[in-house]
Structure 1
Protein backbone atom coordinates (compact mmCIF):
# COMPACT_ATOMS: atom_id res chain seq x y z
CA UNK A 1 0.00 0.00 0.00
CA UNK A 2 1.38 3.38 -1.02
CA UNK A 3 0.12 6.27 1.10
CA UNK A 4 0.39 9.53 -0.81
CA UNK A 5 -0.35 12.67 1.20
CA UNK A 6 1.28 15.22 -1.08
CA UNK A 7 -0.52 18.53 -0.87
CA UNK A 8 -1.91 17.81 2.60
CA UNK A 9 -0.98 19.74 5.72
CA UNK A 10 -0.75 17.65 8.87
CA UNK A 11 -0.56 18.72 12.50
CA UNK A 12 0.84 16.26 15.03
CA UNK A 13 0.61 17.48 18.60
CA UNK A 14 3.20 16.37 21.14
CA UNK A 15 5.52 15.26 18.36
CA UNK A 16 9.04 15.99 19.56
CA UNK A 17 9.45 12.38 20.75
CA UNK A 18 7.72 9.03 21.04
CA UNK A 19 4.61 8.10 19.10
CA UNK A 20 4.06 11.68 18.00
CA UNK A 21 7.56 11.96 16.58
CA UNK A 22 7.20 8.65 14.71
CA UNK A 23 3.84 9.82 13.36
CA UNK A 24 5.28 13.12 12.16
CA UNK A 25 8.03 11.24 10.35
CA UNK A 26 5.55 8.77 8.85
CA UNK A 27 3.29 11.52 7.53
CA UNK A 28 6.27 13.45 6.16
CA UNK A 29 7.52 10.28 4.46
CA UNK A 30 4.10 10.04 2.79
CA UNK A 31 4.55 13.55 1.40
CA UNK A 32 2.51 15.65 3.83
CA UNK A 33 3.67 19.04 5.05
CA UNK A 34 3.98 18.40 8.78
CA UNK A 35 3.74 20.78 11.71
CA UNK A 36 5.61 19.47 14.76
CA UNK A 37 4.55 20.61 18.21
CA UNK A 38 6.03 20.56 21.70
CA UNK A 39 6.02 22.68 24.82
CA UNK A 40 9.48 24.19 24.45
CA UNK A 41 11.13 25.87 21.49
CA UNK A 42 14.33 23.95 22.12
CA UNK A 43 12.64 20.58 21.82
CA UNK A 44 10.66 21.63 18.76
CA UNK A 45 13.71 23.03 16.97
CA UNK A 46 15.69 19.87 17.68
CA UNK A 47 12.91 17.63 16.36
CA UNK A 48 12.54 19.70 13.19
CA UNK A 49 16.29 19.58 12.54
CA UNK A 50 16.46 15.84 13.07
CA UNK A 51 13.45 15.04 10.88
CA UNK A 52 14.75 17.26 8.08
CA UNK A 53 18.12 15.51 8.29
CA UNK A 54 16.50 12.06 8.23
CA UNK A 55 14.07 12.96 5.42
CA UNK A 56 15.79 15.39 3.05
CA UNK A 57 13.30 17.40 1.05
CA UNK A 58 10.51 16.97 3.58
CA UNK A 59 8.39 19.99 4.47
CA UNK A 60 8.63 20.23 8.26
CA UNK A 61 7.88 23.18 10.50
CA UNK A 62 7.46 23.48 14.24
CA UNK A 63 5.48 25.44 16.79
CA UNK A 64 6.09 25.53 20.53
CA UNK A 65 2.80 25.78 22.44
CA UNK A 66 1.35 24.37 25.64
CA UNK A 67 -1.85 22.81 24.37
CA UNK A 68 -3.10 22.00 27.86
CA UNK A 69 -4.30 25.60 28.07
CA UNK A 70 -6.84 27.52 26.01
CA UNK A 71 -4.26 30.27 25.53
CA UNK A 72 -1.70 27.82 24.18
CA UNK A 73 -4.21 26.30 21.77
CA UNK A 74 -5.21 29.75 20.53
CA UNK A 75 -1.58 30.71 20.00
CA UNK A 76 -1.01 27.52 18.03
CA UNK A 77 -4.08 28.02 15.84
CA UNK A 78 -3.02 31.59 15.07
CA UNK A 79 0.16 30.24 13.49
CA UNK A 80 -1.52 27.34 11.63
CA UNK A 81 -4.88 28.61 10.40
CA UNK A 82 -5.63 25.59 8.22
CA UNK A 83 -4.89 21.85 8.16
CA UNK A 84 -6.11 18.72 6.41
CA UNK A 85 -4.92 16.24 9.04
CA UNK A 86 -4.95 16.56 12.82
CA UNK A 87 -3.30 13.92 14.98
CA UNK A 88 -4.26 14.67 18.59
CA UNK A 89 -1.33 12.88 20.18
CA UNK A 90 -0.14 15.14 22.97
CA UNK A 91 -0.59 13.64 26.41
CA UNK A 92 1.11 12.22 29.42
CA UNK A 93 0.66 9.68 32.18
CA UNK A 94 1.52 9.70 35.87
CA UNK A 95 2.89 6.21 36.51
CA UNK A 96 2.69 5.44 40.20
CA UNK A 97 2.71 2.48 42.54
CA UNK A 98 -0.94 3.16 43.39
CA UNK A 99 -3.03 0.00 43.47
CA UNK A 100 -5.33 -0.11 46.48
CA UNK A 101 -8.29 2.12 47.24
CA UNK A 102 -6.39 4.13 49.84
CA UNK A 103 -3.77 5.07 47.28
CA UNK A 104 -6.30 5.79 44.54
CA UNK A 105 -8.34 7.95 46.92
CA UNK A 106 -5.22 10.02 47.55
CA UNK A 107 -4.84 11.17 43.92
CA UNK A 108 -5.18 14.96 44.21
CA UNK A 109 -7.55 17.11 42.18
CA UNK A 110 -4.71 18.74 40.31
CA UNK A 111 -3.61 15.39 38.86
CA UNK A 112 -7.10 14.57 37.60
CA UNK A 113 -7.64 18.05 36.19
CA UNK A 114 -4.15 18.42 34.75
CA UNK A 115 -4.33 15.14 32.85
CA UNK A 116 -7.81 15.97 31.58
CA UNK A 117 -6.74 19.34 30.22
CA UNK A 118 -3.68 17.96 28.46
CA UNK A 119 -4.94 14.58 27.26
CA UNK A 120 -8.52 15.50 26.42
CA UNK A 121 -9.10 19.24 26.13
CA UNK A 122 -6.09 19.78 23.87
CA UNK A 123 -7.77 17.59 21.26
CA UNK A 124 -11.18 19.11 21.88
CA UNK A 125 -9.88 22.64 21.36
CA UNK A 126 -7.99 21.91 18.15
CA UNK A 127 -10.74 19.71 16.71
CA UNK A 128 -13.30 22.41 17.47
CA UNK A 129 -11.35 24.78 15.25
CA UNK A 130 -10.03 22.56 12.43
CA UNK A 131 -12.96 20.15 11.89
CA UNK A 132 -15.42 22.71 10.48
CA UNK A 133 -12.77 23.84 8.01
CA UNK A 134 -12.16 20.26 6.90
CA UNK A 135 -15.92 19.84 6.40
CA UNK A 136 -16.01 22.97 4.24
CA UNK A 137 -13.29 21.46 2.02
CA UNK A 138 -14.95 18.03 1.89
CA UNK A 139 -11.87 16.15 3.10
CA UNK A 140 -10.09 15.78 6.41
CA UNK A 141 -8.67 13.33 8.91
CA UNK A 142 -8.69 13.63 12.70
CA UNK A 143 -7.07 10.96 14.85
CA UNK A 144 -7.07 10.84 18.64
CA UNK A 145 -4.21 8.82 20.12
CA UNK A 146 -5.95 7.05 22.98
CA UNK A 147 -4.76 3.84 24.68
CA UNK A 148 -5.79 0.32 25.51
CA UNK A 149 -6.19 1.81 28.99
CA UNK A 150 -9.38 3.35 27.63
CA UNK A 151 -10.86 -0.16 27.62
CA UNK A 152 -8.79 -1.87 30.33
CA UNK A 153 -9.05 0.72 33.09
CA UNK A 154 -5.73 0.55 34.97
CA UNK A 155 -6.05 0.85 38.73
CA UNK A 156 -2.44 2.02 38.93
CA UNK A 157 -3.23 4.89 36.49
CA UNK A 158 -6.93 5.48 37.04
CA UNK A 159 -6.80 9.20 36.24
CA UNK A 160 -4.93 8.47 33.00
CA UNK A 161 -7.38 5.73 32.01
CA UNK A 162 -10.26 8.13 32.54
CA UNK A 163 -8.80 10.58 30.02
CA UNK A 164 -8.22 7.86 27.44
CA UNK A 165 -11.84 6.67 27.72
CA UNK A 166 -12.97 10.27 27.35
CA UNK A 167 -11.03 10.51 24.10
CA UNK A 168 -13.03 7.58 22.71
CA UNK A 169 -16.28 9.34 23.53
CA UNK A 170 -15.10 12.58 21.94
CA UNK A 171 -13.77 10.92 18.80
CA UNK A 172 -16.92 8.86 18.25
CA UNK A 173 -19.18 11.84 18.83
CA UNK A 174 -17.20 14.03 16.43
CA UNK A 175 -17.27 11.28 13.81
CA UNK A 176 -21.04 11.17 14.02
CA UNK A 177 -21.22 14.96 13.79
CA UNK A 178 -19.31 15.00 10.49
CA UNK A 179 -20.98 11.95 8.95
CA UNK A 180 -21.16 12.02 5.16
CA UNK A 181 -18.86 15.00 4.74
CA UNK A 182 -15.68 13.27 3.53
CA UNK A 183 -14.06 13.91 6.90
CA UNK A 184 -13.25 10.99 9.20
CA UNK A 185 -12.53 10.92 12.92
CA UNK A 186 -10.96 7.90 14.59
CA UNK A 187 -9.07 6.88 17.70
CA UNK A 188 -5.95 4.73 17.78
CA UNK A 189 -5.33 2.61 20.89
CA UNK A 190 -1.68 1.71 21.49
CA UNK A 191 -0.65 -0.82 24.10
CA UNK A 192 2.59 -0.64 26.10
CA UNK A 193 5.01 1.15 23.78
CA UNK A 194 8.69 2.05 23.87
CA UNK A 195 7.86 5.74 24.01
CA UNK A 196 9.66 8.40 25.99
CA UNK A 197 7.51 8.32 29.12
CA UNK A 198 7.17 4.56 29.51
CA UNK A 199 10.71 4.02 28.24
CA UNK A 200 12.12 6.29 30.94
CA UNK A 201 10.05 4.50 33.57
CA UNK A 202 11.35 1.10 32.43
CA UNK A 203 14.93 2.39 32.42
CA UNK A 204 14.52 3.61 36.00
CA UNK A 205 13.06 0.26 37.05
CA UNK A 206 15.95 -1.58 35.42
CA UNK A 207 18.54 0.57 37.18
CA UNK A 208 16.79 0.35 40.54
CA UNK A 209 16.50 -3.44 40.39
CA UNK A 210 19.86 -4.14 38.75
CA UNK A 211 18.34 -5.82 35.71
CA UNK A 212 18.34 -5.19 31.97
CA UNK A 213 15.72 -3.03 30.33
CA UNK A 214 14.41 -6.10 28.48
CA UNK A 215 13.96 -7.85 31.82
CA UNK A 216 12.23 -4.79 33.27
CA UNK A 217 9.95 -4.65 30.24
CA UNK A 218 9.00 -8.30 30.64
CA UNK A 219 8.39 -7.77 34.35
CA UNK A 220 6.04 -4.89 33.56
CA UNK A 221 4.10 -7.00 31.07
CA UNK A 222 3.82 -9.99 33.38
CA UNK A 223 2.61 -7.85 36.28
CA UNK A 224 0.35 -5.35 34.52
CA UNK A 225 -0.38 -6.53 30.95
CA UNK A 226 -0.19 -10.34 31.06
CA UNK A 227 -2.69 -10.71 28.19
CA UNK A 228 -0.26 -9.31 25.62
CA UNK A 229 -0.06 -11.55 22.56
CA UNK A 230 3.17 -10.17 21.13
CA UNK A 231 4.92 -10.55 24.52
CA UNK A 232 6.86 -7.32 24.11
CA UNK A 233 6.38 -3.58 23.96
CA UNK A 234 5.34 -2.11 20.61
CA UNK A 235 7.66 0.28 18.85
CA UNK A 236 6.61 3.85 18.16
CA UNK A 237 6.83 3.14 14.43
CA UNK A 238 4.37 0.26 14.73
CA UNK A 239 1.84 2.58 16.35
CA UNK A 240 2.57 5.40 13.89
CA UNK A 241 1.86 3.06 10.97
CA UNK A 242 -1.74 2.72 12.14
CA UNK A 243 -2.09 6.48 12.60
CA UNK A 244 -0.68 7.22 9.14
CA UNK A 245 -3.11 4.71 7.63
CA UNK A 246 -6.04 6.36 9.40
CA UNK A 247 -4.92 9.68 7.88
CA UNK A 248 -4.76 8.30 4.34
CA UNK A 249 -7.17 8.25 1.41
CA UNK A 250 -7.20 4.48 1.74
CA UNK A 251 -8.96 4.80 5.13
CA UNK A 252 -11.93 6.64 3.65
CA UNK A 253 -14.42 4.04 4.92
CA UNK A 254 -13.01 4.01 8.45
CA UNK A 255 -14.61 6.53 10.79
CA UNK A 256 -15.83 6.50 14.36
CA UNK A 257 -13.55 3.54 15.03
CA UNK A 258 -11.28 2.60 17.92
CA UNK A 259 -8.31 1.09 16.07
CA UNK A 260 -6.31 -1.13 18.38
CA UNK A 261 -2.57 -1.50 17.98
CA UNK A 262 -2.23 -2.88 21.49
CA UNK A 263 -0.34 -6.10 20.87
CA UNK A 264 -3.45 -8.05 21.76
CA UNK A 265 -3.65 -6.82 25.37
CA UNK A 266 -7.40 -6.26 25.13
CA UNK A 267 -8.97 -9.71 25.18
CA UNK A 268 -12.46 -9.09 23.86
CA UNK A 269 -13.26 -9.00 20.14
CA UNK A 270 -15.23 -5.91 19.11
Structure 2
Protein backbone atom coordinates (compact mmCIF):
# COMPACT_ATOMS: atom_id res chain seq x y z
CA UNK A 1 0.00 0.00 0.00
CA UNK A 2 1.37 3.40 -0.96
CA UNK A 3 0.71 6.67 0.81
CA UNK A 4 1.36 10.39 0.52
CA UNK A 5 4.06 11.48 2.97
CA UNK A 6 2.69 15.04 3.06
CA UNK A 7 0.99 15.49 6.39
CA UNK A 8 2.89 12.57 7.93
CA UNK A 9 4.73 14.97 10.26
CA UNK A 10 3.09 17.36 12.68
CA UNK A 11 2.73 20.84 11.13
CA UNK A 12 4.38 22.24 14.28
CA UNK A 13 7.33 19.82 14.36
CA UNK A 14 9.70 22.40 12.84
CA UNK A 15 7.82 25.56 13.78
CA UNK A 16 10.19 28.51 14.09
CA UNK A 17 12.99 26.71 12.26
CA UNK A 18 14.71 28.11 9.18
CA UNK A 19 15.81 25.53 6.61
CA UNK A 20 17.99 25.83 3.51
CA UNK A 21 17.53 23.18 0.83
CA UNK A 22 20.21 23.35 -1.85
CA UNK A 23 19.44 22.13 -5.34
CA UNK A 24 15.74 22.34 -4.57
CA UNK A 25 14.28 23.42 -7.90
CA UNK A 26 13.37 19.81 -8.84
CA UNK A 27 13.41 16.18 -7.73
CA UNK A 28 14.38 15.11 -4.21
CA UNK A 29 15.40 18.63 -3.22
CA UNK A 30 12.01 20.08 -4.13
CA UNK A 31 10.11 17.32 -2.34
CA UNK A 32 12.31 17.74 0.74
CA UNK A 33 11.57 21.47 0.75
CA UNK A 34 7.86 20.73 0.46
CA UNK A 35 7.87 18.31 3.38
CA UNK A 36 10.01 20.55 5.61
CA UNK A 37 7.48 23.30 4.98
CA UNK A 38 4.58 20.99 5.76
CA UNK A 39 6.29 20.33 9.12
CA UNK A 40 6.31 24.06 9.88
CA UNK A 41 9.73 25.29 8.75
CA UNK A 42 10.48 28.44 6.81
CA UNK A 43 12.26 27.12 3.72
CA UNK A 44 14.88 28.81 1.54
CA UNK A 45 15.08 27.21 -1.88
CA UNK A 46 18.33 27.29 -3.82
CA UNK A 47 19.47 26.58 -7.34
CA UNK A 48 21.43 28.16 -10.14
CA UNK A 49 18.45 29.00 -12.37
CA UNK A 50 16.37 31.92 -11.13
CA UNK A 51 13.58 30.99 -13.56
CA UNK A 52 13.36 27.41 -12.22
CA UNK A 53 13.67 28.62 -8.65
CA UNK A 54 10.83 31.12 -8.81
CA UNK A 55 8.64 28.58 -10.63
CA UNK A 56 9.26 25.99 -7.92
CA UNK A 57 8.62 28.56 -5.20
CA UNK A 58 5.22 29.30 -6.74
CA UNK A 59 4.45 25.57 -6.99
CA UNK A 60 5.35 24.94 -3.35
CA UNK A 61 3.46 27.98 -2.09
CA UNK A 62 0.36 26.52 -3.76
CA UNK A 63 1.08 23.07 -2.26
CA UNK A 64 1.76 24.34 1.30
CA UNK A 65 -0.07 27.69 1.49
CA UNK A 66 0.56 28.09 5.23
CA UNK A 67 4.34 27.99 4.79
CA UNK A 68 6.90 30.70 4.09
CA UNK A 69 9.27 30.16 1.18
CA UNK A 70 12.21 32.13 -0.18
CA UNK A 71 14.50 31.51 -3.14
CA UNK A 72 18.17 32.45 -3.52
CA UNK A 73 20.14 31.73 -6.66
CA UNK A 74 23.72 30.59 -5.98
CA UNK A 75 26.27 28.36 -7.70
CA UNK A 76 28.31 26.11 -5.39
CA UNK A 77 31.31 26.63 -7.70
CA UNK A 78 31.25 30.37 -6.98
CA UNK A 79 32.22 31.13 -3.36
CA UNK A 80 31.14 34.74 -3.65
CA UNK A 81 27.60 33.62 -4.53
CA UNK A 82 27.52 31.28 -1.55
CA UNK A 83 28.71 34.11 0.70
CA UNK A 84 25.93 36.32 -0.62
CA UNK A 85 23.32 33.59 -0.08
CA UNK A 86 24.27 33.06 3.55
CA UNK A 87 24.41 36.82 4.16
CA UNK A 88 20.88 37.05 2.75
CA UNK A 89 19.69 34.24 5.04
CA UNK A 90 21.14 35.97 8.10
CA UNK A 91 19.75 39.39 7.19
CA UNK A 92 16.32 38.22 5.99
CA UNK A 93 15.60 35.24 8.24
CA UNK A 94 17.77 35.93 11.28
CA UNK A 95 19.74 32.70 11.13
CA UNK A 96 19.69 29.08 10.04
CA UNK A 97 18.72 25.84 11.82
CA UNK A 98 18.63 23.20 9.07
CA UNK A 99 20.50 22.49 5.86
CA UNK A 100 19.48 19.73 3.48
CA UNK A 101 22.15 19.53 0.81
CA UNK A 102 21.45 17.64 -2.37
CA UNK A 103 24.60 16.48 -4.12
CA UNK A 104 25.07 17.96 -7.54
CA UNK A 105 27.34 17.25 -10.50
CA UNK A 106 27.26 18.20 -14.14
CA UNK A 107 29.74 15.46 -14.99
CA UNK A 108 29.16 12.11 -16.60
CA UNK A 109 26.74 9.62 -15.12
CA UNK A 110 27.69 5.96 -14.61
CA UNK A 111 30.49 5.09 -17.01
CA UNK A 112 33.43 2.67 -17.00
CA UNK A 113 36.40 4.37 -15.36
CA UNK A 114 38.67 4.12 -18.39
CA UNK A 115 36.07 6.02 -20.43
CA UNK A 116 36.02 8.96 -18.01
CA UNK A 117 37.97 12.18 -18.44
CA UNK A 118 39.68 14.38 -15.90
CA UNK A 119 36.83 16.86 -16.27
CA UNK A 120 34.44 14.13 -15.06
CA UNK A 121 36.58 13.52 -11.97
CA UNK A 122 36.72 17.20 -11.11
CA UNK A 123 32.98 17.65 -11.63
CA UNK A 124 32.20 14.70 -9.35
CA UNK A 125 34.53 15.83 -6.57
CA UNK A 126 33.40 19.45 -6.79
CA UNK A 127 29.69 18.77 -7.05
CA UNK A 128 29.36 15.86 -4.67
CA UNK A 129 32.05 16.45 -2.05
CA UNK A 130 33.50 19.97 -2.09
CA UNK A 131 30.03 21.54 -2.33
CA UNK A 132 29.13 19.90 1.00
CA UNK A 133 32.27 21.31 2.62
CA UNK A 134 31.53 24.79 1.27
CA UNK A 135 27.94 24.73 2.53
CA UNK A 136 28.81 23.24 5.93
CA UNK A 137 31.59 25.69 6.72
CA UNK A 138 29.24 28.62 6.09
CA UNK A 139 26.24 27.09 7.87
CA UNK A 140 27.93 26.00 11.11
CA UNK A 141 28.65 29.48 12.56
CA UNK A 142 25.03 30.45 12.01
CA UNK A 143 23.86 27.26 13.73
CA UNK A 144 26.20 27.84 16.68
CA UNK A 145 24.56 31.25 17.11
CA UNK A 146 21.17 29.48 17.30
CA UNK A 147 22.36 26.90 19.83
CA UNK A 148 22.56 23.98 17.40
CA UNK A 149 21.24 22.65 14.14
CA UNK A 150 21.06 19.78 11.69
CA UNK A 151 22.75 19.17 8.34
CA UNK A 152 21.47 16.40 6.09
CA UNK A 153 23.43 15.48 2.99
CA UNK A 154 22.01 13.46 0.12
CA UNK A 155 24.45 10.99 -1.37
CA UNK A 156 23.77 7.55 -2.89
CA UNK A 157 24.15 3.86 -2.13
CA UNK A 158 27.05 4.03 -4.60
CA UNK A 159 28.98 5.36 -1.60
CA UNK A 160 28.53 2.01 0.15
CA UNK A 161 28.02 -0.62 -2.56
CA UNK A 162 30.61 -1.05 -5.31
CA UNK A 163 28.89 -0.82 -8.69
CA UNK A 164 30.47 -1.13 -12.15
CA UNK A 165 30.48 2.24 -13.84
CA UNK A 166 30.47 4.20 -10.58
CA UNK A 167 34.12 4.20 -9.55
CA UNK A 168 34.38 7.98 -9.88
CA UNK A 169 30.92 8.84 -8.57
CA UNK A 170 31.11 6.25 -5.80
CA UNK A 171 34.47 7.57 -4.63
CA UNK A 172 33.19 11.14 -4.38
CA UNK A 173 29.99 9.97 -2.67
CA UNK A 174 31.98 7.91 -0.15
CA UNK A 175 34.00 11.03 0.70
CA UNK A 176 30.73 12.88 1.25
CA UNK A 177 29.52 10.21 3.67
CA UNK A 178 32.80 9.97 5.57
CA UNK A 179 32.77 13.73 6.02
CA UNK A 180 29.30 13.47 7.56
CA UNK A 181 30.51 10.79 9.97
CA UNK A 182 33.65 12.61 11.09
CA UNK A 183 32.20 16.13 11.18
CA UNK A 184 29.16 14.76 13.02
CA UNK A 185 31.49 13.75 15.86
CA UNK A 186 33.39 17.04 15.79
CA UNK A 187 30.34 19.28 15.83
CA UNK A 188 28.27 17.37 18.40
CA UNK A 189 29.70 19.62 21.13
CA UNK A 190 27.88 22.51 19.43
CA UNK A 191 24.63 20.51 19.28
CA UNK A 192 24.97 20.33 15.49
CA UNK A 193 24.11 16.97 13.94
CA UNK A 194 25.22 15.72 10.51
CA UNK A 195 23.67 12.75 8.76
CA UNK A 196 23.31 11.51 5.20
CA UNK A 197 20.50 9.94 3.20
CA UNK A 198 21.58 7.52 0.48
CA UNK A 199 18.95 6.58 -2.10
CA UNK A 200 19.52 4.17 -4.95
CA UNK A 201 17.76 4.67 -8.27
CA UNK A 202 14.93 7.15 -7.59
CA UNK A 203 12.04 7.81 -9.93
CA UNK A 204 10.78 11.30 -10.55
CA UNK A 205 14.25 12.87 -10.73
CA UNK A 206 16.44 14.26 -13.49
CA UNK A 207 19.12 11.78 -12.48
CA UNK A 208 16.71 8.89 -13.14
CA UNK A 209 15.96 10.23 -16.62
CA UNK A 210 19.66 10.72 -17.34
CA UNK A 211 20.58 7.22 -16.16
CA UNK A 212 17.83 5.56 -18.12
CA UNK A 213 18.70 7.45 -21.29
CA UNK A 214 22.19 5.91 -21.33
CA UNK A 215 22.31 2.28 -22.58
CA UNK A 216 25.18 1.30 -20.25
CA UNK A 217 23.64 2.65 -17.04
CA UNK A 218 20.11 1.64 -18.06
CA UNK A 219 21.15 -2.03 -18.14
CA UNK A 220 22.65 -1.73 -14.65
CA UNK A 221 19.71 0.00 -13.06
CA UNK A 222 16.97 -1.98 -14.74
CA UNK A 223 18.50 -4.97 -12.92
CA UNK A 224 18.59 -2.96 -9.69
CA UNK A 225 14.93 -2.01 -10.02
CA UNK A 226 13.96 -5.68 -10.11
CA UNK A 227 15.54 -6.12 -6.65
CA UNK A 228 13.42 -3.36 -5.11
CA UNK A 229 11.04 -5.67 -3.28
CA UNK A 230 9.23 -2.72 -1.70
CA UNK A 231 9.01 -0.95 -5.03
CA UNK A 232 11.36 1.57 -6.62
CA UNK A 233 11.50 4.68 -4.46
CA UNK A 234 10.35 8.05 -5.73
CA UNK A 235 11.48 11.46 -4.50
CA UNK A 236 8.40 11.55 -2.24
CA UNK A 237 9.60 8.39 -0.47
CA UNK A 238 13.14 9.66 0.09
CA UNK A 239 12.36 13.14 1.40
CA UNK A 240 10.69 12.11 4.70
CA UNK A 241 13.96 10.59 5.93
CA UNK A 242 15.63 13.98 5.58
CA UNK A 243 12.80 15.67 7.50
CA UNK A 244 13.11 13.09 10.27
CA UNK A 245 16.89 13.49 10.53
CA UNK A 246 16.56 17.29 10.57
CA UNK A 247 13.93 17.25 13.29
CA UNK A 248 13.96 16.88 17.09
CA UNK A 249 12.76 13.30 16.56
CA UNK A 250 16.39 12.50 15.66
CA UNK A 251 17.94 14.55 18.47
CA UNK A 252 20.41 11.78 19.38
CA UNK A 253 21.32 10.69 15.83
CA UNK A 254 24.49 12.01 14.23
CA UNK A 255 27.18 10.73 11.89
CA UNK A 256 24.83 8.19 10.31
CA UNK A 257 24.30 7.23 6.67
CA UNK A 258 20.82 5.84 6.00
CA UNK A 259 19.70 4.06 2.83
CA UNK A 260 16.25 4.55 1.31
CA UNK A 261 16.23 2.15 -1.62
CA UNK A 262 13.05 0.05 -1.63
CA UNK A 263 14.97 -3.06 -0.65
CA UNK A 264 17.46 -3.09 -3.55
CA UNK A 265 20.22 -3.79 -1.04
CA UNK A 266 20.84 -3.80 2.70
CA UNK A 267 23.52 -1.12 2.35
Same fold? TM cut 0.5:
yes
Query: Given the alignment, which residue of 175, 178, 181 partners 1:172?
Result: 181
Match of residue 229 from structure 1:
229
Residue-by-residue CA offset, 1:218-258 (whole Å, 9 max, x unaligned) = x654435664332x420101100000000111110111111
Q: Structure 1 residue 111 and structure 2 residue 123: aligned?
A: no
Is the contact between residue 172 and residue 185 of structure 1 (CA under 8 Å) also seen in structure 2? Answer: yes
Match of residue 97 from structure 2:
84
1:176 positional shift: 0.8
Residue-by-residue CA offset, 1:10-49 (whole Å, 9 max, x unaligned) = 0000000000000000000011000001111101010101
Q: TM-score, normalised by structure 1?
A: 0.85
Is the contact between residue 189 and residue 258 of structure 1 (CA under 8 Å) also seen in structure 2? Answer: yes
Q: Structure 1 residue 24 and structure 2 residue 38: aligned?
A: no
Is the contact between residue 15 and residue 39 of structure 2 (CA under 8 Å) also seen in structure 1? Answer: yes
The alignment covers a number of residue pairs equal to 252
Match of residue 256 from structure 1:
255
- Give me the whole-angstrom Cα distance separating, in 1, the residues matched to 2:158 and 2:33: 23
Structure 1 unaligned blocks of 5 or more: 209-215
- Give me the whole-angstrom Cα distance separating, in 2, the residues matched to 1:79 and 1:37: 12
- Give me the whole-angstrom Cα distance separating, in 2, the residues matched to 1:84 and 1:14: 18
- Give me the whole-angstrom Cα distance separating, in 2, the residues matched to 1:118 and 1:72: 15
Q: TM-score, normalised by structure 2?
A: 0.86
- Give me the whole-angstrom Cα distance separating, in 1, the residues matched to 2:249 and 2:266: 27
- Give me the whole-angstrom Cα distance separating, in 1, the residues matched to 2:80 and 2:119: 19
Residue-by-residue CA offset, 1:145-199 (whole Å, 9 max, x unaligned) = 1110100133213221112101111111111111243221111111110142233
Residue-by-residue CA offset, 1:113-159 (whole Å, 9 max, x unaligned) = 11211121121111112113323432201011111010013321322
- Give me the whole-angstrom Cα distance separating, in 1, the residues matched to 2:78 and 2:263: 34
Is the contact between residue 17 and residue 195 of structure 1 (CA under 8 Å) also seen in structure 2? Answer: no
- Give me the whole-angstrom Cα distance separating, in 2, the residues matched to 1:185 and 1:168: 10
Match of residue 157 from structure 1:
166
Structure 2 unaligned blocks of 5 or more: 1-8
Residue-by-residue CA offset, 1:200-228 (whole Å, 9 max, x unaligned) = 236646xx9xxxxxxx98x6544356643
Is the contact between residue 75 and residue 81 of structure 2 (CA under 8 Å) also seen in structure 1? Answer: yes
Match of residue 211 from structure 1:
none
Q: Are the structure 2 counterparts of residues 150 and 241 from structure 1 closer, same or farther at C-alpha, using a change threshold of 3 Å?
A: same
